[in-house]
Amino acid sequence: MKRKIPVLITFVVGSVLILSVFFPPIETWGEDFSIFFDIIAVFAFFLGGGNLLRIHTKKAIKRQKDWGFSIVTVLGFIIMLIAGLFKVWNDGGIAGDVAAPGSLFQMMYNWIFTPLGATMYALLAFFVASASYRAFRAKNVGATILLVASFIILLGRTPLGTYVTGWIPKSLSIFNIPDLAIWIMTAPNLAGQRAIMIGIALGVVSMSLRLILGVERTYLGVDNE
Amino acid sequence: MAVTKKISLLILAIVIVLFAVSWIAKTGTFEDTGMPLGLSVRDGFLVTFAAFLTLSIFSFLYKDNPYYKFAEHLFVGVSAAYWMCVGFWSTFVGNFIPKVSEGLSNFFEVPYKGFDVFYFIPLILGIMLLLRMSSKIGWISRWSLAFIVGTTAGLNLIRYMRSDFISQVSNTFVPLVVDWQGFGAFFSDLSLNASGQLIMTMSNWVIFIGVFCGIIYFFFSKEHSGFFGGASKVGIWVLMVTFGASFGYTVMGRVSLLVGRLTFLFHDWLGLIN
Amino acid sequence: MMHKLLIVMCLLFIAGAGYVSAEEIPDSLKPALPSDITIYPDSGGNVAVIYWFPSADDGAGKNIVTGYALYRSPSPKGSFEVIDTVPPGPNRYIDFLPIDTTVVDSGAPFSPAPVTEVTLADKDNDHGHAVIVKWKTSADDIAGSPSNRVLAYNVFRAESQSGPYLMRGQSASGDTQYDDVGSKEREARDYMPDYTDYYYIIRTKTIEYHPGHKDYFYIVRSITDNPDNYRETSPLQFDGTIYTDSQVYGPVQCFGQWFNSGLIPVLIFVICFTAITVFMIFRARRGAELFVRRLAGIEAVDEAIGRATEMGKPILYVLGLGTAAEIATIASFTILGRVAKKVAEYQTGLIVPCYDPIVMTVAQETVKASYMDAGRPDSYDENMVYFVTQSQFAYVAAVNGVMLRELPATNIYMGKFFAESLILAETGALAGSIQIAGTDEIAQIPFFVVACDYTLIGEELYAASAYLGREPVLLGSLKAQDYAKAAVMIIAIVGFITINLNWDWFVNLFRVAN
Amino acid sequence: MSNLGLIISLLIIGAGLLWLLIRSLQGKEVERRIIFLFIGLAVSVPLLFNITFSEKATPIVKALYDKIDNLPEGSNILLSFDYGPTMAPEVQPMSDVLIRHVLAKNHHLFLMGLWATGQSLGAEAVDRIIKGDFPEKIDGIDFVNIGYKAGNQGVLNVIVTDFRKLYATDVGGRDLDSLPIFNGIKSLKDMDLLISVGGGFPGVKEWVQFAGDPGNVPTGGGSAAVSAPLLYPYYPRQMLGLMGGIKGAAEYESEFKRHYERFKDMPEPGVKMMGPQTLAHLVIMAFIVIGNLSYFFGKKGKQS
């Protein structure tokens, strides 16, 4: 009972959505169900926020390692939540845009959220360098191909490629590094992408089918029935 | 132990002093632009604080440290609340309330769009999800999971079949020889544009064989040996070109991000460049 | 000590941030605007018809609209003069334009030829509520030529032959078709019921003016009892150029089709694939031996768990940034289930930080189930699976912290990953962990391939969940996938041949209509 | 003065790399933090001393440029801001130059976003570019920003048939029907060109799959470099052109400036950013070489 009904729900919902694509009278159900999913996700925020608060307050109360930082998390969370839900300093009142200019919410977004996110993202510049140093080594055929392809593309993305191979006549321009880089991007790269894409499409279709047919159901967990 | 503690206190002192100096200096700069004192103090603080957070994250590259921990924990708290608020206002108040309750619509001052009984489905499923917190009837939350998974499976099956699978397969139907104009013309032009038939023809062959061998690599129910093994080896090489090329191509974007952050530090904060 | 100072700084920020200023009537208290405002000429251009649908606050909502004021000006930035105030309710106002009669009309006035051969038909393959209007362009429409004097066609529709006709939309000169798509919602403003007679007029608009005629701009204002409390539109253009109306065409009715025949190729593929899958699953159930090749990344998982046990360090399992509505995430749950079971058997630690609350829910369920399966329900700890935040980089910052502080022996990344893939994998490498990754996000596979020890590429991620289960039904569906791949290759070869022989019909089979 | 600084910094980078190269010949590995330091230098130096190079448009960028240039005046072009502030440094130059180009050609410009963050970025672009460079353009007549709705590709699913089902108003709260620019615009199908600028999910791919394909509307894009190769398979059949990464932006900027005299002094963040790019790429390539050298020499050392 606890397990059969969910499997049945998945089957019915999945099949109906597949059929809805082919039948104009119900073709908008896909849209409606997408909106439903977003609404359910809002309820789930409570689960997430609750879990976050529970873990960090527990850490702070029990004075576990780094407990002080947990207080920072809790404070940041509560202040941002109040700023957003009550629209603190928002000129528009309750109907105003939650991120209206001048509101506390927008201020915290601009001066805490944004710089932190952008900086985390910017760390990637350092990591691509350390990863290429560590991993691009001609250890075997596959690794060498990986190395050469990326080296040509790197060259092609700089004016250096043009300086080194700019003398090549137009009729042989494929040996010109920037052109070669584009060719790699549009031919072999495309082939690889497409093979992966077709594979993924089949994988998704097959996995979806397994879910709808109820043969794959780890996501439901088990119970003691 | 005592020494490291002293050093970290010393560093903290330096950070606090620098922070204060920057706050005062930035307040001064903002005031010079004619901003009232109150606002200048506020913006001076905000810019300094953002710079402090930026540098705290960068300090992670050296090693884990309390400043990174502070930034990390603050980020987690603020961002979790950010998405909760956005979800609440845009989805819950924006899409849900106007379909179920006129009173609440008026309260939140959003236009009421007429009662729609179907919108009780997500409401019920959402509440079921919350019932997880009870250990007795927590199992009922699986119904909403089943609904979500069913929706996903149904939508994805058709979408991938239609857009990725059928389109990509039909894109592989490429002419074997492009625009044939005789051998002389064929071999004399090795350029990458509309006139270079050899390269275009070669591209088509590479794409066709590449996709073919790539798919063979993904065969699961056949041992990779003999012809199959050879083809799947070519397949993995094609994939390696793809990975190498994608990696090399991405470096540029990653460097741009760093440029953005350094511009913030050099321009917005320190005022070194314009 | 350090903690407290940092907290003080945090509070200082909040204190320093306050600043409030507001004196006007808040936007939220102002009345809503009327909607569907259309303005077009009539009576040979001597009058402007202004049509609107009442404001949401007219007789409903806040119910404060006491009427609408109309303003007119010859320029959008000029001074608008009030022309009239009308009571609430739906309205169609006719404004007599101040035509300058002193200008003498020299010569015969230009008048474009009307469109001809108008055909009206229900739109195919849809849910109804739409009519396709086609016409032969005006004889004066020389589209593409710089001397073309025809600007556009306006499509008007009415429910009775005598009107009133309301403007539905516009097509550019040279166009011969307008899809008049209405709403199927009964309460929607442009609800277009099926099985109702519709009549159409197509107006040919030019770029020229009769002498004395010109464009005007209108502002419509929702007014209330308080003269300071109103809301008005931005200036709306009235186009005063010369036009010619076609004769009335119709009636036509629209209706829905029950089946979208344009999608038949997709349907065929779905049916074939489902049939093969079901067939293979049945065969597998009856005990057919199915071979599945080795997946290095998955075999490495067991090894890595052993290693973690020896080292006495935990395993970090990252489900990625996908929601529970992502197939990759669902595949990852299966792998997590397997990992958790091994972990429970070996009594190793497991850390699962989650990005999405629903994913967290499912992951808790999965891990708990695995611990029960392994016969160790007592070792299950709710805190193994926890929520971090639903923000990409904050999540990464936190997971990075976990990697450097807990120093897990193995990091497993399975699911949807975006830009954070390399940040995670490089930090993991820095911490000296063995790393196993799998994602179907094509752009991120290269980073995992470069920085991790083992990577499941795309489809392998889905296959892994079937492979791990080792259940015949799952292996059966893998086999079906392989048959589909073989079919793809055959189709590709046939397509390759047919396109070189210029047989377009085969290629066209793969064109999916809408 | 700045030349002196430039020369000294380049010398430091060069000498440092040379030293690492010599060490690598002895089979020694480079520590991670040293690599980080070099990347930091390679990016800061061109920023502080302002080095730029001019670009030429590649066909895939040119295709998008030509489409906008060749559409008749008054065409409806939709630009979607599908990115957040974190990605802005890379893709904002694209949306900037696109806005300039579209308005310079007197097309109608519709702005929206599939990312929550896109709404304010769109509004910010209006303030910065349109109010600055095109003061004569009127909000609601020549351009409009309808903002963000949650739902990712689900939004596209809806507005490909009807804007008004999700969007009642623009970001200013004005009813869509009250805006002249929306006259005769019902859904995405009424657009002449859709452009998504972004680099994650949802992004150009979703626009192609859920709007361009089903609606039969030409679709182009600007994408962060990371996801651009992933989009090539859609080119040219399902996606007419693409700016890939900052280089794509720089190419578009150069192309636009070459043809529009009026904008020859406009800021060109894309072109400007190519300076640090070049140096950073060189440093990374140097490290790949160094890594391989130390791999081979280090291995030899162990074997002997």
**D53: chain A residues, CB-CB within 8 Å:** 159
Among A13, A110, A195, beta carbon nearest to B151:
A13
**Partner-chain contact C10 A76, CB within 8 Å:** yes
Q: Is A144 on the interface with D (CB under 8 A)?
A: no
Give residue C385's domain range. 296-470
Nearest chain D CA: its distance from B136 CA (Å): 33
Q: Is residue C1 part of a domain?
A: no
What mean pLDDT do residues A161-186 have?
73
pLDDT in tens, C381-405: 988 999 999 999 999 999 999 999 9
Residues C106 and C188 in one domain: yes
Q: Is the domain defined by D59-263 classed in CATH 3.40.1580?
A: no
Q: Is the ipTM of this complex over 0.85?
A: no
B114 touching chain D per CB within 8 A: no
How many other β-carbons are positioned within 10 Å of the β-carbon of residue B137? 10
pLDDT computed for residue C14 by the predictor: 46
Indicate whether A40 belongs to any domain. Answer: no
Subunits close to C (at least 3 CB pairs below 8 A): A, B, D
Comparing alpha-carbon positions, the chain D residue that sits nearest to B244 is: D229
Please state the domain count of chain A.
1
Taking CB atoms and an 8 Å limit, are D285 and A154 in contact across chains? yes
Note whether B168 contacts D: Cβ–Cβ < 8 A. yes
Do the Cβ atoms of C138 and C115 come closer than 8 Å? yes
Q: Of C3, C1, C514, C4, nearest to C260 (Cα)?
A: C514
Highest mean predicted confidence (pLDDT) among A36-45, C443-452, D19-28:
C443-452
The pLDDT of residue C143: 62
Residue numbers of C between 231 and 260 with CB closer than 8 Å to D: 233-237
Q: Which two tokens stand for residue C247?
A: 């004769």
Please name the residues between 107 and 126 in chain D that touch chain C, using a CB distance below 8 Å. Answer: none
Average pLDDT in chain C: 83
- How close A61 comes to chain B (CA, Å)? 16
pLDDT at residue C88 is higher than 90: no
The one-digit pLDDT tens for each residue of chain B (274 residues) are 578 889 999 999 999 999 999 999 988 888 888 878 888 888 899 999 999 999 999 999 999 999 999 999 999 999 999 988 988 888 888 888 888 888 888 888 777 777 888 888 889 998 988 888 777 777 888 888 888 889 888 988 988 888 778 777 777 776 766 666 666 666 666 655 544 567 778 888 898 899 999 999 999 888 888 888 899 999 999 999 999 998 998 887 788 889 889 999 999 899 888 7
* Residue with more model confidence, B174 or A86: A86
In C138-255, DSSP assigns E strands to 150-158, 166-172, 177-181, 198-206, 216-223, 230-232, 236-238, 243-245, 249-252
Full domain range(s) for residue A187: 136-216
> What order do you get walking across the sheet with C91-96 strand by strand?
C35-42, C47-53, C91-96
**What pLDDT is stored for residue C26 in this prediction?**
61
* pLDDT bucket at C20, cuts 50 / 70 / 90: very low
Chain D interface disruption, residue of A157, A197, A204, most D CBs within 10 A: A157
State mean pLDDT over C151-158: 86
pTM for the predicted model, two decimal places: 0.79
Answer whether residue C427 shows pLDDT above 90.
Answer: yes
| Domain ranges within chain D, ordered by starting residue | 2-51+269-303, 59-263
Range with the largest mean pLDDT of A99-103, C212-216, C394-398, D216-220: C394-398
Measured distance CA(C27)–CA(C30) in Å, rounded: 5
Of the candidates A47, A127, A198, which has its C-beta nearest C426's C-beta?
A: A127
DSSP C420-439: HHHHHHHHHHHTT-EEEEEE
Q: Into how many domains does chain C fold?
A: 3
B273: nearest CB among D47, D90, D228:
D47
Q: Looking at the predicted structure, is the pLDDT value of residue C423 above 90?
A: yes
D63 in contact with A, Cβ within 8 Å: no
State the distance between the two ends of chain A, measured CA to CA, in whole angstroms: 8
Domain membership flag for residue C3:
no
Q: What is the pLDDT of residues B24-58, one digit of tens each?
A: 998 888 888 887 888 888 889 999 999 999 999 99
pLDDT score of C315 more than 90: yes
Are C164 and C211 within one domain?
yes
Same domain, C336 and C233: no
**pLDDT the model gives residue D121:** 86
Does residue D154 belong to the interface with chain A, where contact is any CB pair within 8 Å? Answer: yes
Length of chain A: 225
CB < 8 Å from A in window 192-251 of B: 192-193, 196, 199, 202-203, 206-211, 213-215, 217-218, 235-251
- Cα separation, D246 vs D223, whole angstroms: 9
Judge whether residue C146 has pLDDT over 60: no
Q: What is the mean pLDDT of residues A203-208?
A: 91
CA distance D247 to C113: 51
Domain-embedded: residue A147: yes
Res. A223: pLDDT tops 50: no
pLDDT digits (tens, 9 = 90+) for C2-19: 555 555 555 444 444 443
Q: Which residues of B touch C388 (CB under 8 A)?
A: 76, 80
CA distance A97 to C507: 50
**Residue of chain C minimizing CA distance to D187:** C181
pLDDT of residue C1: 53
Q: With a cut of 70, which residues of chain D have pLDDT below it? A: 1-3, 53-54, 150-151, 154, 165, 229, 232-233, 235-237, 299-304
For residue C113, pLDDT beyond 50: yes
Asked if C47 and C167 sit in the same domain, the reply is yes
Summarize the confidence of residues C473-497 as an average pLDDT. 85
- Asked if the Cβ–Cβ distance from D280 to B251 is below 8 Å, we say yes
Identify whether the C-beta of residue C140 lies closer than 8 Å to the C-beta of residue C113.
yes
Cross-strand partners of C437: C413, C455
* Rg (alpha carbons) of chain C, rounded to whole number: 34
Chain A: closest CA distance from residue B196 (Å): 8
pLDDT at C365 over 80: yes
Contacting partners of chain A (3+ CB pairs under 8 A): B, C, D
* pLDDT value at residue C145: 56
Residue A19 falls within a domain, yes or no?
no
Across the range C126-133, mean pLDDT stands at 85
Strand partners, C316: C351, C411
- The per-residue pLDDT for range C259-292, each reduced to its tens digit, is 888 788 888 888 999 999 899 888 888 877 778 8
Quick one: pLDDT at residue B12?
93
Q: Is residue A32 part of a domain?
A: no
**Percentage of the residues of chain C whose pLDDT score is greater than 70:** 88
Question: C462 vs C512, which has greater pLDDT?
Answer: C462
Q: Residue C233 domain-assigned?
A: yes
Kindly tell me if the per-residue pLDDT of C241 is higher than 50: yes
- List pLDDT tens digits, range C220-240: 998 888 888 888 887 777 878
What letters, b where the CB count within 10 A reaches 16 and e where it falls short, cover A150-183?
bbbbbbbbbbbbbeebeebeeeebbebbbbbbbb
